[in-house]
Structure 1
Amino acid sequence: RPWKVVAGVVCLTIAVYGLLSSIGLFSSYWHQHMLQDYTPSQVSWIISIFGFLDCFMDLPLGELFDRHGTRWLLPIGCVVYAASFVGLAFSSTYGQLMGCMVVAGISAAIPTTVALTVVRQWFHKRMGLATGLVTTGAALGGIFFSLVLQELFQSYPWRTAIIILTCILAGFMVLGWLLIETNTSQRTAGSPPRSTFGELLGSLKFWLISYAMFGDELVLFIQWGSIPSYAIATRSGGDQFYLMMAYNIGAVVGRTAIPYLSDRIRALGPIRTLILMNIFTLLTVVAIWLPLGGTSITRLFAIVVLMGIGTGSTVPLGSVCVRELREDHSHGLWLGTVYTRCEFNTLIGNPSTEAILHDYGPNALVGFLGGVLLSGLISMICLPWRMSVEAKVR
């Protein structure tokens, strides 16, 4: 049963995060075919609102999940999510596209909250591996949808392409819905009391992990949206579909192999592993991407694979770190609150980086990513120190 649940959750993450992993391709298509009168920064607000609302709704939905499970939440989310893309197929103006992405973002928060919380009811010792497999759905979906969107956008008109895409998304949603179930044994009377929202906000550990994950998620969402724009800016626009696929291939490694090593090597654990992967990603940006990224398409392919490994690993490791710090059964509250604090990076990340790319060039964008990663790394390094201080006080 636990691995059946994992399979169902992977289907949900493919349908939502897998599509988000390739969402920059939508932005490029809109700017080239439908919204030529708008700047790339303005167009990127449409995809940003999708990711923003997905994160923003995690907190209230996480609380609902803690109380009621998946029985009625998941079907509603799946139906509305699919319906939003039916509406997208019949949209052509900026306002219409924005409206559909608003609905898609709100409804997407339901399956993503379920995906990142229900698996924790079924695993303990293999939590890192299970979470890694779950979040691999985003990378696998990114590879899949990069190829699908390339074929759809090149072979069909907009309406037909999105109707076909909707059918694919609905198939994944229905399969996930059928496979997922809540582990009711985790809701026993003998469970420790759940954290309150006020206690959570008073925890320094919460603020440290929140900011560290804010930085990681900011870079992740920027990668999803800006790789096609960066490719066009460096005269590699014809390879944008394949660059997104290469990035997601790296993310598959980051979301599976790295959490597996975190589980297997006891001396590491999720927190130390996440620190090491933050260092790895920062070095990739500063030592490789900044000096070499715009010099050849071959080097750019290698860089996006390395960035996929680095940023891909932060999603499963970050959520497992939250579990390490939680200390009670408030799965949804802790995780939902952390991801709600990450909401603004999804809202401002791509419009800001599109503006940086347009006004100051590719190197400025890469330098900005390096600064974000460095600040998040400092917060993450402070986390073990705070935990040791609290352990001594006890």
Structure 2
Amino acid sequence: MSTRSLDSMTTRAEAGADAAPLASPKGSHDDVSDNTPTHTHTGPDVPAVTTDVEKTAVEKGANGDAPAKPQMPSFPDGGLMAWMAVAGSWLVIFCTFGMANTFGVFQSYYQFTGFPSESPSTISWIGSVQLFLQFFLGSVAGPLYDRGYFRALVYVGSVIYIVCFFMISLCKTYWQTMLAQGLGAGIGIGIIFLPAVSVLSQYFLRRRALAIGIAVTGSSIGGICLPIMLNNLIASHGFEKAVQYTGYLILACLVLACALLHPRLGPNKNAPPKPSPKQLFESKPYTIAVVGLFLVAWGLFFPIFYLQVFAEEHGISSNLTFYTLAILNAASVIGRISPNFLADYIGSLNLMSVMCAGAGILCFAVLGAGSPGGLIAVAILFGFFSGAYVSLMTPAIIAFSNGVHEIGIRLGIAYLITSFAALTGTPITGALLDKYGFYAPVVWSGVTVLAGSGCMVVATILQRRVKGTWKV
């Protein structure tokens, strides 16, 4: 579709069209399209028609009937409210995914101080359950978001998360910590995470991947600030006070986020019916892409959870190991902005395949992190490539949607499947670590991530055929 045609459609839509399923320029990977063929009809008395919907509208108008309204919502792609939404989403992700990226600090404390009698695999279940619920509850939050319950999800999820995070400081046993940090905090995160990311699709179209990439850097900044904050507060004030002070920071961020986040569009009563999960999985590209996301997530979090432990076991000074996760997440800031900027031009799926392959190769490089130089190099490179997976995941799944009414359910199902990888991945690598040392979990992590990147390559090729363009 030409730019001139798109502009004319947008002008007509803004003049009198109701909110309707999203149509987008053909060949745009991140734009949600209706997948209808493009037609052009011109004549002396009839304006140019670019879609079947508009063609029908003009024909009806020519016959004296009431013209049908073209289905094309407008997107600000900027402005005060749009960037307020990005800021609010950034704050939510800072507190949620940023805290997940910080679990290596909790893993180290629980393993060596808090619960030394528990195995690394047992301790890692706390972080795995939290990650599992963060993705799994997307299957619940997604449909509720589509039905217009955005504010209820954000407010309720924030309260649950804040209360449970403060409860971590009062826990004395492993199972108390599992209930507060794994289950409670995981439920709160799972309720607010998907709506906070999905709402950006109501404000951005052309720059959607970039906007999501900027918002997702909140997890990287959280992964920089929170580990340093926690490590130093634990050393100076003890674990209980460290968690409480961090809880106050999370409280302030979520209160501000609730004030900044506002949905722009209500539920569209005239939207086509949502596809069932069976219909979604009849799409081979979507199905293979979800399998790829699962496999990547199965191995991707091992270096994030265990890189600090690996460095400590190899005798690297605590002055450096304390900053391992901060270095990793600082690099992932670049990995979450620059790929998403490129994705708006070359396609999210194209870029996802490359970045996941790089992350899989770097999983094997963990074995070279036994020296200060090796540790820093692995943390920087892995942070860059793994950061792209997190930031490109959402725009890549949105690319399969046939309308804005499908975004929540497609993301919810993708997050649901991925949640089981997040649940079982680090306990599996923890069990391998207990029995075989670091070599076995490193191999497991690298192989699964590379297998996932292979699936993403296949899904990308198939989606190119569906869209009829290389940019997907």
TM-score range, shorter chain: over 0.9
Contact 1:226 1:353 in 2 (8 A): no
1:301 aligns with 2:379: no
1:10 corresponds to which letter in structure 2? W
Instruction: Work out the CA distance in 2 between the residues paired with 1:367 and 1:378.
Output: 16
Q: How many residues align?
A: 385
1:50 corresponds to which letter in structure 2? Q
What secondary structure does 2:301 align onto? Answer: helix
Give 2:75's aligned residue: none
Contact 1:281 1:310 in 2 (8 A): yes
Contact 1:195 1:328 in 2 (8 A): no
What secondary structure does 2:399 align onto? Answer: helix
In the TM superposition, what whole-angstrom CA distance separates every residue of 1:273-302 from its partner, at most 9, and x where no partner exists? 11121232233345x445x333x2211211
2:135 corresponds to which letter in structure 1? C
Instruction: Work out the CA distance in 2 between the residues paired with 1:353 and 1:377.
Output: 19
Structure 2 counterpart of 1:227, from 302, 307, 320: 307
Give 2:447's aligned residue: 371
Rg (Cα) greater in structure: 2
Q: 1:391 Cα shift?
A: 5.3
Q: 1:153 Cα shift?
A: 0.7
In the TM superposition, what whole-angstrom CA distance separates every residue of 1:122-148 from its partner, at most 9, and x where no partner exists? 111001111101110000000010111
In the TM superposition, what whole-angstrom CA distance separates every residue of 1:297-350 from its partner, at most 9, and x where no partner exists? 211211111111101001121211111111222111100110110112221222
Give 1:166's aligned residue: 247
1:338 aligns with 2:338: no
Contact 1:293 1:300 in 2 (8 A): yes
Give 2:324's aligned residue: 243
Q: 1:191 Cα shift?
A: 4.0
Contact 2:94 2:219 in 1 (8 A): yes
Q: Percent identity?
A: 27
1:370 corresponds to which letter in structure 2? G
1:284 aligns with 2:365: no
2:402 corresponds to which letter in structure 1? E
Contact 2:110 2:116 in 1 (8 A): yes
Instruction: Work out the CA distance in 2 between the residues paired with 1:331 and 1:197.
Output: 13
In the TM superposition, what whole-angstrom CA distance separates every residue of 1:216-254 from its partner, at most 9, and x where no partner exists? 323332233122222233333723321101100111010
Pair 285,32 (structure 1): closer, same or farther in 2 beyond 3 Å: closer
Structure 2 counterpart of 1:252, from 333, 343, 354: 333
**Which structure 2 residues correspond to residues 7-22 of structure 1 after superposition, within 5 A?**
7-22=87-102
Structure 2 counterpart of 1:61, from 133, 136, 141: 141
Contact 2:316 2:372 in 1 (8 A): yes
1:111 corresponds to which letter in structure 2? I
Give 1:380's aligned residue: 456
Contact 1:69 1:182 in 2 (8 A): no
Q: 1:5 Cα shift?
A: 0.3
Pair 390,247 (structure 1): closer, same or farther in 2 beyond 3 Å: same
Contact 1:51 1:343 in 2 (8 A): yes
Provide structure 1 residue ranges, at least 5 long, that are not aligned to the other structure: none
Structure 2 counterpart of 1:51, from 131, 134, 138: 131
State which drifts further: 18-27 or 225-234: 225-234
Give 1:356's aligned residue: 432
Give 1:147's aligned residue: 228
Instruction: Work out the CA distance in 1 between the residues paired with 2:269 and 2:415.
Output: 28
State which drifts further: 304-313 or 321-330: 321-330
Contact 2:299 2:426 in 1 (8 A): no
Structure 2 counterpart of 1:3, from 78, 83, 86: 83
Give 1:32's aligned residue: 112
| Deviating 4+ runs (over 6 angstroms) | none
1:283 corresponds to which letter in structure 2? I
- The structure whose residues are more often helix, as a share, is 1
2:391 corresponds to which letter in structure 1? P
Q: 1:388 Cα shift?
A: 4.3
Instruction: Work out the CA distance in 2 between the residues paired with 1:112 and 1:228.
Output: 26
Give 2:205's aligned residue: 124
Structure 1 counterpart of 2:397, from 308, 322, 326: 322
What secondary structure does 2:400 align onto? Answer: helix
Instruction: Work out the CA distance in 1 between the residues paired with 2:317 and 2:134.
Output: 28
Instruction: Work out the CA distance in 2 between the residues paired with 1:165 and 1:391.
Output: 46
Provide structure 2 residue ranges, at least 5 long, that are not aligned to the other structure: 1-80
Structure 1 counterpart of 2:215, from 134, 140, 160: 134
Instruction: Work out the CA distance in 2 between the residues paired with 1:234 and 1:18.
Output: 26
Q: 1:358 Cα shift?
A: 2.9
Give 2:296's aligned residue: 216
Higher relative contact order (CA 8 A, sep 6+): 1
Structure 2 counterpart of 1:194, from 266, 274, 297: 274
State which drifts further: 129-138 or 223-232: 223-232
Instruction: Work out the CA distance in 2 between the residues paired with 1:33 and 1:150.
Output: 13
What secondary structure does 2:96 align onto? Answer: helix
Q: 1:357 Cα shift?
A: 2.4
Pair 237,22 (structure 1): closer, same or farther in 2 beyond 3 Å: farther
Instruction: Work out the CA distance in 1 between the residues paired with 2:316 and 2:177.
Output: 27
Contact 1:226 1:350 in 2 (8 A): no
Instruction: Work out the CA distance in 2 between the residues paired with 1:44 and 1:22.
Output: 13
